Amino acid sequence: MRLRSTALFLMLLMSAARAAPAPQQVDIPLASGVLHAQLYKPEGEGPFPTVIALHGCGGLGSHSDSVLPRYRDWAERLLKAGNAVLLPDSYGSRELGPQCRVKEMHVKARRERVTDIAASRAWLMKQGWVARDRVSLIGWANGASALLWAVRPQSAARDTSPDFRAAIAFYPDCRISAGLGWSARVPTLVLIGADDDVSSPPACRQMVDGARGRSALTRIVVYPGAYHDFDRANTPLHAAAGSDAAAPEHGHLGTDAVARANAQKEVSQWLAR
């Protein structure tokens, strides 16, 4: 009986794996080079709301997987809700590996990664299946920091295409932005754990509070007891390959799971605005 149950469980896992949609690689032109990206697109002609998803310092994929589980899970969740999802690979496109512990980063959040965001948006504006007035941003850690730079009024595109509809930043490094008097030109949501010891929850709160009254709608949600990388897909430890943070103690897993579930609701509601 136990063997039969195990076999059934394995068959279900294999069936789920086969059912998971595979992304399509697309190449986006840059001023110098090409930005490789992975695209998840609903079936049909559209137009579809589209999310540009920005990986953290661990990179988008690995040697064996073009999209790491956390980003794949989010992409599939967004896809089921009717969104197309574009995941630009800022590091792999420049033949770089993970940058989490690199002292001298050659791809900076406020420079190359903002360029990648602008190039991704410009490419999407030319695609017939894109709802051009419903392109949003979502980013994690270093990608979220890039997002904060990209939505500043100073970074607005000079073309006549619609601007981003919304932006969602998971645990960005807000310290520089808070000190510069950051504001956003599009509705921006910041999600961070209260016990995040990699990013700075107080700096993010200061940044968002300081933007009120001179910015588009901004909001911060701080999850009690949650740590950095809290939204990582259902894995026992955060220190798996490509993670942006060290492994938490086992006691953190419950609070991270609650924060992850609440964040999924926040993301859905923010994108539906």
Q: In sequence order, which residues have a C-beta less than 8 Å from that of residue 177 and are 6 or more positions away?
A: 145, 148, 149, 207
Residue 242 identity (one-letter amino acid) = G
Please spell the DSSP secondary structure of 70-101, one letter per residue.
HHHHHHHHHHHTT-EEEEE-TTGGGT----TT
| Closest among 255, 209, 242 to 100, alpha carbons compared | 242
The band of 239, judged by pLDDT with boundaries at 50, 70 and 90, is very low
Q: Hey, what are 236's tokens?
A: 């026992």
Cβ–Cβ < 8 Å for 211, 167 = no
pLDDT 10s digits, 131-170: 999 999 999 999 999 999 999 999 999 889 999 999 999 9
Q: Are 107 and 96 in contact (CB under 8 A)?
A: yes
pLDDT at 240 > cutoff 70: no
Q: What is the value of pTM for the model shown?
A: 0.87
Task: Tell me the pLDDT tens digit for each residue of 30-63.
Answer: 998 999 999 999 999 999 999 999 999 999 999 8
Per-residue pLDDT reduced to its tens digit, 87-120: 999 999 999 999 998 888 889 999 999 999 999 9
* The predicted structure's pLDDT at residue 244: 53
The pair of three-digit structure tokens given for residue 91, joined into one six-digit string: 């590091």
pLDDT of residue 233: 62
pLDDT of residue 136: 98
